[in-house]
Amino acid sequence: MGGAGVYLLLRHRAWRGAYGSDHYDSTWLYLLLICSHLITLIIMTIITSLLTGVEYDTNIQRVSENQIVIFFGYAMRQSRYVVCRVEYTPIGYTYTMLDPDTYEYHTTETIMPLSQKHGIGYYYDDTAPEFMDSTQVALIKEEAERKHKEQEEKREAERERTEQLKAVGRKRMEQI
């Protein structure tokens, strides 16, 4: 039985209950939650894919700074990112990447080798890794910070405008 079949069986069991009663059974709901919302099971720093059975250790650094990473997304969408920061945390390595086209930051703990590609996710070329020049990365970071600052200023101006409108509305309501 495939993953969808197990999900539907557990969904039916959660609704009907373990013994056929018309209420939700918490044990079956818990199993349903595990099957429907978790694609990966995290045990310490080992991540095991429930779909492929592949284990991934987050304590092993997969890529380094300035390395190009490819994101394969929904509907065959591909995006290229440059790794701008690698941090070691209690759960393993965390990679902060920057999109050179949109100047947006993305963070992930799992980056798989391209030779083991199996679906949506971040991958690095393990046969011929690509790197970006550190000066280019610094310029991209600078531009990303500038855009982020502009967006924050726009949000702050919008918040101030909203507060002013609220104050005007309060005054008018008091007059009524």
Cα 95 to chain center, whole Å? 11
113 and 40 in a common domain? no
Same domain, 41 and 76: no
Q: Whole-angstrom Cα distance, residue 103 to residue 139? A: 11
Whether residues 84 and 146 fall in one domain: yes
Q: Do 66 and 141 sit in the same domain of this protein?
A: yes
pLDDT in tens, 115-169: 888 888 899 999 999 999 999 999 999 999 999 999 999 999 999 999 999 999 9
Beta bridge partners of 47: 42, 56
Name the token pair of 123.
């991958």
Q: Examine the domain organization and report whether 129 and 75 are in the same domain.
A: yes
What H or E segment, with its residue span, contains residue 154? helix 134-175
Q: How far apart are CA 106 and CA 122, in angstroms?
A: 11
154/169 same-domain check: yes
What are the contacts of 98-106 at 24+ separation with CB within 8 A? 98/137, 98/140, 98/141, 98/144, 100/132, 100/140, 103/140, 103/143, 103/144, 103/147, 103/148, 104/144, 105/144, 106/71, 106/81
Number of domains making up the chain: 2
Q: Which range of residues forms the domain containing residue 88? A: 58-176
Contact between 61 and 93 (Cβ < 8 Å): yes
Same domain, 83 and 166: yes
Q: Are residues 92 and 125 in the same domain?
A: yes
Which domain-ending residue is among 34, 57, 80? 57
Residue 22 tokens read as 């018309």
State the pLDDT at residue 44.
Answer: 55
Angstrom distances, CA of residue 147 to CA of 67, 121, 132, 175 = 23, 26, 21, 42
* 151 and 84 assigned to the same domain: yes
Q: What is the pLDDT of residues 91-122, one digit of tens each?
A: 889 999 999 999 999 999 889 898 888 888 89
On whether both 16 and 86 belong to a single domain, the answer is no
In the structure, what pLDDT confidence band is assigned to residue 38 with cuts at 50, 70 and 90?
very low
Q: Which two tokens stand for residue 9?
A: 């069986």
